[in-house]
Amino acid sequence: MSQSRSHSPLDYLFLLSAAAIYGAVFTVNKIAATGGAPPLAYAFWQSFGAGLVLWIALRLRGERLGVLRADLIGYVVIGALVIGIPISLLTYIAPKLPAGVMTLVLALSPPFTFMISVLAGVERFRWLGLIGLLFGFAGVVLVVAAPVMFAGSNVAAAILRPPASSSVAMGAGVLLGSALVLLPIMLLAGQAWIPERFDQAAIGTLLAIAINAVFLVLFFEIIRRAGPVFFAQFNYFAVLAGVAWGAVVFRERLSIYLVLAMVLMFVGVFLSGYRRAPP
C-alpha cells in the first residue's frame, strides 16, 4: 500500500548529511583502487570493518543483533544490494573514470527506486515518473553504472526491515551480511588481501569503513522516518557532493559530455519525484 508522509526539518538534515558523507565514497574508492586494493577484498573489508564498528556500538548500547530468519534474510539481501555487489563493480571501474563522474550513478537511483516501489506496491504509478525513468536511461547511455542495485536496496530496506530493529542494529547486520556474501566470492576469485602497511590502499579502506559505518545508520534512520522514495532524493544531493569531493581531492573537471549526462539524469530525477499540489 502506498503511503503519504510529511517530512520534518530533521529528515532533510539527515538526508543532506548522508549525501555529504556518501558523496565522498567514490573519491575514496578511487584512492583505494589506484593504491592497489583488489575490488572484492576492498568491498569485503569495508563491509566487515564498518559492521564490526557498529556491532561494538550496539553492544555498548546494550542491544543485540536479531537472529530470526527474517532478520538474517534482510541483512544478506540488503547487504548484497547496497554494498557487496555495486561497490565491487564500481571499484573495478574507479581507476578508469574521474571520481566525480562515478557519482553520476547515484542520480539514476531515484527513478529506479520509483519503478521498484511501484512494482512492490509502496508507491503509486505516475506518468511523470515513467518519463523521468526514460530520461534516466538516456543519461546512463553516457555513463556506465549499476544504479538498479542501489534502488533495490532502498525498497528492500523498507520491506525487509524488522519493525523492532534499531538503525544501528540494521546497519551492523547489513554490513556483516554484505561481508558474508563477499567472503566466498573474494576467496574464489583469488582476491584475498589483508592490508599489511599504512599505504594508499589501507588509507582508502579505513576511510570507506568510517563512511559506511555512519552512512548505514543514517540510511536506515531516514527510511524508517520518511520512507524509501524520500530517501532516494539523497542520490542527487550526493552527486553534487561527489563532484565536489572529486574536484577538491583530484582537481577534476567535468567536460560538456558529462555535464549533458548530469542534466539528463537530473531531469529524470525531477520528473520521477514531482507531484502536483493537491487541489
pLDDT at residue 48, as a whole number? 96
pLDDT at residue 278, as a whole number? 44
pLDDT at residue 58, as a whole number? 94
Counting as low any pLDDT under 70, the low residues of the chain are 1-6, 84, 87-115, 117, 121-164, 235-236, 252, 254-259, 261-262, 264-279
pLDDT at residue 110, as a whole number? 61
pLDDT at residue 102, as a whole number? 52
pLDDT at residue 135, as a whole number? 61
pLDDT at residue 241, as a whole number? 78
pLDDT at residue 168, as a whole number? 92
pLDDT at residue 3, as a whole number? 46
**Interatomic CA distance for residues 79 and 73, integer angstroms:** 10
